[in-house]
Amino acid sequence: MYDFNFHRPKSLRKAAAILAENEEAKLIAGGQTLLPTMKQRLAAPSDVVDLSAISGLSGIELKGRKLQIGAMTKHYDVATSQVVREALPALADLAGMIGDPAVRNRGTIGGSVANNDPAADYPAACLALNATIVTNKRRMTADEFFTGLFDTALEEGEIITKVIFPLPKRAAYAKFRNPASRYAMAGVFVSKRGREVRVAVTGAGSDGVFRLTQAEEMLSKRFSEKALKDLTVDPDGLVGDIHGSAEYRANLVAVMTRRAVAAA
């Protein structure tokens, strides 16, 4: 890893100012993705801005029918929170499936969402629940936020402060994990809120997280596994690599969608 200037600002304003002054600066939350990336020299920021000393960025709060999670809230805290367990158990389950216990003790929801790794879990939950991503500048829906592989609508100097999940009537996440990396080979989050059904897929799309509109239409008529009996997923646009071909992933996506609906 190349050396860098380390900053640990105490306020969002200060953090944003450091980002504005240093074009090659990067934010660090739990660092569970950024540090391995820097070790491989795939990233070499001039400045690293640690968000951990800024107060008010972590915590879980239920506000009416919305669950608010601070950007610096760790996966372990989401996985074990009584509030999340009761209000949105699918999200607690998802958080408990990320990485391993030590990774969950450092990794954060804001970091995961901002990085938009094509195999990360949280983007699927955000997209399937149409979460609102709140930054120091504005609010965006998940549909607006995730724009492609490792790409988001975040602008220079923009910092995620929290993610707000509207509570669904039914939801579940089914993940087929790569046994070595523990990343999703295919992860499918399904949700039903009012009449709206949303299905989001991670781990399989070559352009990152995406909505499986075909399954959404089938499930809008009837939210049950049976409604998916004719579901076949097109391998076009899916990842094919040493871990599995695009066709294999297409099948996994269909299977995980059925499992998620059965569990919701």
Partner 1 sequence: MPKVSMTVNGELVSKMVEGRTLLVDFLRDTLKLTGTHIGCDTSQCGACVVHMDGSAVKSCTTLALACQGAEIMTIEGLADGETLHPMQTAFNDHHGLQCGYCTPGMIMTAVDMVKRLGVPDEETIRAELEGNICRCTGYHNIVKAIAAGAEAMNKSNG
Residues interacting with partner 1, by CB under 8 A?
1-6, 8, 28, 31-32, 35-36, 38-39, 48, 50, 52-53, 76, 99-103, 105-106, 180-182
Which of 84, 93, 110 is closest to 163 using CA atoms? 110
To 5 degrees, how large is the angle CA 26–CA 79–CA 102? Answer: 60
Q: Which of 25/231 has CB closer to partner 1?
A: 25
Q: Which ranges constitute the DSSP H helices of the chain?
A: 12-21, 34-39, 75-80, 82-87, 89-96, 101-104, 109-115, 122-128, 142-145, 213-221, 246-263
Q: Which of 41/229 has CB closer to partner 1?
A: 41
Contact (Cβ atoms closer than 8 angstroms) between residue 121 and residue 175: yes
Which of 104, 114, 113, 99 is closest to 81 using CA atoms? 104
Smallest gap from residue 176 Cβ to partner 1 (A): 15
Q: Which of 136/181 has CB closer to partner 1?
A: 181
Q: Which of 17/103 has CB closer to partner 1?
A: 103
Smallest gap from residue 47 Cβ to partner 1 (A): 9
Smallest gap from residue 32 Cβ to partner 1 (A): 6
Smallest gap from residue 44 Cβ to partner 1 (A): 10
* Cα gap 33→228, rounded to integer Å: 35
Smallest gap from residue 15 Cβ to partner 1 (A): 14
Q: Which of 100/155 has CB closer to partner 1?
A: 100
